[in-house]
Structure 1
């Protein structure tokens, strides 16, 4: 790959003061190899690295940039606010306006509070659930990611090997935190029912992405989310939708609007901040009242509801609310899905495309069945994906540096961008799969 020298030099420099030279692990590109990229600037659908190479961006800030980079209305809103101050330690009218817009967007929501990240949002939502129910256990799903707080990185103790042998994704998680988490397979109603039959009286909440965006892209099966709503009602547990990625991605508001299912609590992030740091937890006033003074659940943050964030968020939601916005995104997603599917069929590439709206995933495996859970995800051909990622990077297309992250389309992608991307994808996989099959 040409023009690596400045990026490579920057990351070498960064490693002197920052672990791996990055402040978030996937930026190191360790899962796909090659030198990581350092961005210089971005506009619309394009990112330009420090060596001047331009990429059509399908990473899109891991889904945060639904409008693309440096959208003029968002950039102007941030700039105007910066002239008035970047942080006050006081409330602002913009906080209330952004809150009102989000509450009005989603039938399941009566109140909201802002934080600075999705991690904080989900961490606080689970704390509220434990407070409200007086229970400790949280049920989540294998392969899902809900931020890096202790409780949400925890996994049950491996009791067969003794309590010192943990299956956590991170060291440093206490034994008590691991005892407070239960795991089920995504889309597996029977396993969820079995867990509730054994632990239902101790489960505070079920935490779920309505469609899983951290296993590549795994759609929830018909009836699965409703089964979670039914069983949580039956046992008096809360249902928490993690919409940090899906909120305002598929429709204006929470995807719960499309499902016709009201969760008790919902978390947001990414899109509602217009590309600035943001998180929010929301839901019925009964539950949100617990973080009010005297409510018993503590949460605070110096930069929560930051003026730059609320300015960017309001500007973004104004654009998203315009007639036809999501119809146009749907049309782009449908076209990309059709082109990839027909291209794969034409070259006997056995990979399958999954899509909802502007989020897509390619299952790198020989199967006509869509991915349904994390066991399926791990059957994929990670080596071929690594070569594919490098091939597309060389051709000027930026994808998430992990097979377990989806492809994000944005409003900024042009027809030419999408045509070039689908052609490059089919060509690369035709060559790579032929080499593997041969």
Structure 2
């Protein structure tokens, strides 16, 4: 049985100076009801906590670590640059090289700017959209998460739907400038444009909804957004903070044959360092040029350490066969999980695309389509599964509404062992719930 004594002691001390002992809320493990862990080190696919427990990592920094932890090429690049300076407040050749590589990777974009987080990237993209159109309304999808800026956390107070990131402190006028739509709901989206089309500045969407666990877009849904934006003069923003460079070398919009106006990147392109980026057609990006209509600035934007790590990471991603191998690993995990679920008679559905997947913890083999479906899941079962997986040496996201992230560092054995542990953990959790709630659990 693993011990978490040292982690618990450190968190108890940490809570006196940091709210909940963490600087980002999910790290407190509140959504899974367990004791959070303090990490001592991480390498490849493994994390070691301060109590000496070793976990195979399927959280991967919420998807930022496609290469795994402390990839040698990235570590060496950071070390070389650190000796030359970490931040100087000026541009560098590393910034221009990274910008050129990302622009070349994705035909939908012509220019790019770097910031320090996905939140900043999306915040600025929406600001550009409002400046370009002279409109205020923003359409976003229920259950998606686009960072914690005011405009992206705003929601109509009378919407009557469950949304993510509900918070006080948002000015009421911003709440009135957001329209909510259920993901994949074509009829609702058309209705919103019919009623408000001449006031909609932009639609922002995750091409694959990765903040609902994992929800795939229905065929034609992204194309409909493009069509409606064109008809009404609104901008189409693709939030690729999670999906960018995950499935191909560039934005997933290329694979989907979608041409968005603006794209946001983050996570993977930083190679494990803090990064965000917004990119798009030059006519939109020129709004942030000096003396133009939109202001954005940041001391640490495109700092040399991040640019060095990012270029080193892209060197690896660009190697022949990299994404083919990731897809193979995804197939291995897919087959292994389905085999385990069949063996244990588990009625849950596993959905995957590339090296990203998610289990729908509900008694249905129909894929989830929207946040309404997401909220029908058995969250209490996932709470038990999360704890059991930790005891078995596997780290999953401390929230049911996050995906399972595969990295290049995972071996076939890691994937097979994870599937076995997941099957056993889910089976045990289901058995406990059948015993406690025999009438309420229709499994």
TM-score band by shorter chain is over 0.9
Aligned to 1:367: 364
Residue 98 (structure 2) pairs with residue 101 (structure 1): no
Aligned to 2:21: 21
TM-score, normalisation: structure 1? 0.97
Aligned to 1:305: 302
**Which stretch shows the higher mean deviation, 117-126 or 337-346?**
337-346
1:294 Cα deviation after fit: 1.8
CA distance in 2 between counterparts of 1:61 and 1:422 reads 20
Aligned to 2:218: 221
Residue 216 (structure 2) pairs with residue 243 (structure 1): no
Alignment of 1:19-168 (within 5 A): 19-158=19-158
1:156·1:167 contact (CA, 8 Å) conserved in 2?
no
Residue 230 (structure 2) pairs with residue 230 (structure 1): no
Q: 1:280 aligns with which of 277, 283, 306?
A: 277
1:26 Cα deviation after fit: 0.1
Question: Measured at CA, do residues 13 and 281 of structure 1 come closer, stay the same or move farther in structure 2, by a change above 3 Å?
Answer: same
CA distance in 2 between counterparts of 1:102 and 1:132 reads 24
1:250·1:357 contact (CA, 8 Å) conserved in 2?
yes
CA distance in 2 between counterparts of 1:54 and 1:368 reads 34
Residues 130-177 of structure 1 show CA distances to partners (whole Å, capped at 9, x for unaligned) of: 0000000000000000000000000013189xxxxx997000011011
Q: 1:195 aligns with which of 185, 192, 195?
A: 192
Residues 407-434 of structure 1 show CA distances to partners (whole Å, capped at 9, x for unaligned) of: 1000000111111101101111122223
1:346 Cα deviation after fit: 2.6
Question: Measured at CA, do residues 8 and 123 of structure 1 come closer, stay the same or move farther in structure 2, by a change above 3 Å?
Answer: same
Q: 1:185 aligns with which of 156, 176, 182?
A: 182
CA distance in 1 between counterparts of 2:72 and 2:150 reads 38
2:135·2:200 contact (CA, 8 Å) conserved in 1?
yes
Residues 165-209 of structure 1 show CA distances to partners (whole Å, capped at 9, x for unaligned) of: x99700001101101100000011110000000000000000000
CA distance in 2 between counterparts of 1:326 and 1:261 reads 20
Residue 368 (structure 2) pairs with residue 338 (structure 1): no
Aligned to 1:163: none
CA distance in 2 between counterparts of 1:423 and 1:159 reads 42
What RMSD over aligned residues (CA atoms) do the two structures have, in Å?
1.2
Residue 275 (structure 2) pairs with residue 271 (structure 1): no
Aligned to 2:252: 255
Report how many residues are paired. Answer: 433
1:34 Cα deviation after fit: 2.0
Runs of 4+ in 1 over 6 A off after TM superposition: none
Secondary structure of the 2:292 match is coil
Flag structure 2 segments of 5+ consecutive residues without an equivalent: 436-443
CA distance in 1 between counterparts of 2:343 and 2:228 reads 44
Q: 1:326 aligns with which of 323, 344, 361?
A: 323
Alignment of 1:200-211 (within 5 A): 200-211=197-208
Residue 379 (structure 2) pairs with residue 358 (structure 1): no
TM-score, normalisation: structure 2? 0.96
Q: 2:404 aligns with which of 407, 418, 423?
A: 407
1:343 Cα deviation after fit: 1.9
Question: Measured at CA, do residues 367 and 437 of structure 1 come closer, stay the same or move farther in structure 2, by a change above 3 Å?
Answer: same
CA distance in 2 between counterparts of 1:315 and 1:280 reads 17
CA distance in 2 between counterparts of 1:364 and 1:159 reads 26
